[in-house]
C-alpha cells in the first residue's frame, strides 16, 4: 500500500511539473476565475469559443497551445465545454468560491437609485463599454499575461464582493481596487491599444486597453486621462491618473480585467488570488 501511495504522489508531482508556466499560474477555474485548457501541439493555433465568445489561445512554456478562458461570475459550478475548431470540444470543471459582502454609504442618492434621465445615460454607456469588452484582435499575442500592477498600493476592495449601497444590493464588484492617493500615475499592465475613453455615470473617467485576443483592462474613477482611442501603449506607459470621479467614496483605482467578455478576478494575474 505504501508503494502505491508513493507512486501516486510521484505521478501527481510529475503531471503538475509537466504543465507549462501559464497553466500552473493562471488556472483558477471558479466563477469569476480563469480556466486554462490544453489544446495540443498542432503547428497552427486552434480557434476556440466559450459561451459563444472567442477565447484567447497562446503557447505555454511547454509549447502546448492553451485556451485561457474567462469564467463569468454567474457560471454555475460543474462541467463546462469549450468549442474547438473542427467541431471538437474540450471540457473543464468549474469549482465553487464564496465571495464576501460589502456595505457602502453614499451621500448622492442618485448613484443608488438613478432617475429616468440617468438610466437612459447608463444604458447608452453600458452599450459602449460592452462593445469595448467584446473587442477581439486576432493574431495578437499579449506582451505578458502575468500582468504588472497598474499602481503600487494597498489592495482594498477585492473582486466579487456582493455590494450593498445604502442597504440596497447591486451588482457584485467586478474589479480590484487599489487604495492610492489622487494623482497617482496608472501604468498599462501589458502592452495594448486604447479602445475606449469616456466619462461615465458610475465609472467616472475611464480607459479601456485591449491587450489582444479579447484580453481587456479597464481603469476607472480617474482624475485625468493621458491617452486617446487608437493609441498603442507600451507595457508600463501611463494611461491616466487616480481620482474619485463617478460612483466613488474617495480616491482609488478600480481595475477590471476581462477575457472573452467575462469580467474576472485581476488578482489572478498579479499572483495574489486566493483559492
Mean pLDDT across 93-118 = 73
For 154-178, write each residue's pLDDT tens digit: 998 889 887 555 555 456 788 999 9
> What pLDDT shows up at residue 101?
65
* pLDDT tens profile 47-83: 999 999 999 999 999 999 999 999 999 999 999 999 9
Task: Give the strands of the sheet with 168-169, arranged side by side.
Answer: 101-104, 162-165, 168-169
How far is it, in rounded angstroms, from Cα 175 to Cα 54? Answer: 22
- Please tell me the predicted confidence (pLDDT) of residue 141: 95
Residue-level pLDDT at 173 = 80
Instruction: Identify the band that residue 202 occupies on the pLDDT scale cut at 50, 70 and 90.
Output: confident
Nearest 5°: the CA angle 261, 169, 219 is: 40
Give the chain's largest Cα–Cα span: 71
When pLDDT is averaged across residues 227-247 and rounded to a whole number, the result is 97
What pLDDT shows up at residue 15? 42
Q: Flag whether pLDDT at 264 surpasses 50.
A: yes
Q: Are 251 and 182 in contact (CB under 8 A)?
A: yes
List, as one string, the DSSP characters of 28-85.
Answer: B-STTSEEEEEEE--SSPPPEEETTEE-EEEE-TTS-EEEEEE--TTPPSEEEEEEET
Taking the alpha carbons of 253, 257, 262, 268 in that order, is the dihedral positive or negative? negative
Chain segment 8-54, per-residue pLDDT in tens: 333 343 344 458 999 999 999 999 999 999 999 989 999 999 999 99
Amino acid at each position: 500500500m505504501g508503494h502505491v501511495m508513493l507512486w501516486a504522489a510521484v505521478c501527481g508531482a510529475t503531471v503538475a511539473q509537466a504543465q507549462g508556466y501559464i497553466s500552473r499560474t493562471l488556472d483558477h477555474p471558479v466563477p469569476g476565475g480563469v480556466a486554462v485548457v490544453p489544446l495540443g501541439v498542432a503547428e497552427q493555433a486552434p480557434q476556440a469559443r466559450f459561451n459563444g465568445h472567442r477565447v484567447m489561445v497562446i503557447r505555454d512554456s511547454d509549447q502546448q497551445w492553451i485556451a485561457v478562458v474567462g469564467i463569468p461570475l454567474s457560471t454555475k459550478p460543474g462541467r463546462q465545454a469549450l468549442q474547438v475548431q473542427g467541431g471538437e470540444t474540450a471540457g473543464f470543471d468549474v469549482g465553487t468560491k464564496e465571495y464576501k459582502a460589502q456595505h457602502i454609504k453614499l451621500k448622492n442618492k442618485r448613484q443608488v437609485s438613478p432617475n429616468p434621465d440617468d438610466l437612459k445615460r447608463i444604458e447608452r454607456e453600458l452599450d459602449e463599454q460592452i462593445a469595448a469588452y467584446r473587442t477581439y484582435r486576432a493574431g495578437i499575442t499579449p506582451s505578458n499575461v502575468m500582468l504588472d500592477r497598474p499602481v503600487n498600493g494597498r489592495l482594498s476592495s477585492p473582486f466579487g464582493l456582493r455590494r450593498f449601497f445604502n442597504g440596497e444590493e447591486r451588482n457584485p464588484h467586478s474589479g480590484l481596487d487599489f487604495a492610492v492617493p489622487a494623482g497617482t500615475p496608472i501604468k498599462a499592465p501589458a502592452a495594448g491599444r486604447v479602445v475606449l475613453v469616456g466619462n461615465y455615470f458610475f465609472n467616472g473617467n475611464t480607459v479601456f486597453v485591449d491587450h489582444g485576443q479579447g484580453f481587456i483592462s479597464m481603469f476607472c474613477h480617474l482624475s485625468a486621462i493621458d491617452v486617446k482611442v487608437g493609441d498603442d501603449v507600451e507595457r508600463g506607459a501611463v494611461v491616466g491618473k487616480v481620482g474619485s470621479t463617478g460612483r466613488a467614496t474617495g480616491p482609488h483605482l478600480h481595475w477590471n480585467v476581462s477575457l472573452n467578455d467575462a469580467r474576472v478576478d485581476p488578482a489572478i494575474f498579479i499572483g495574489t488570488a486566493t483559492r
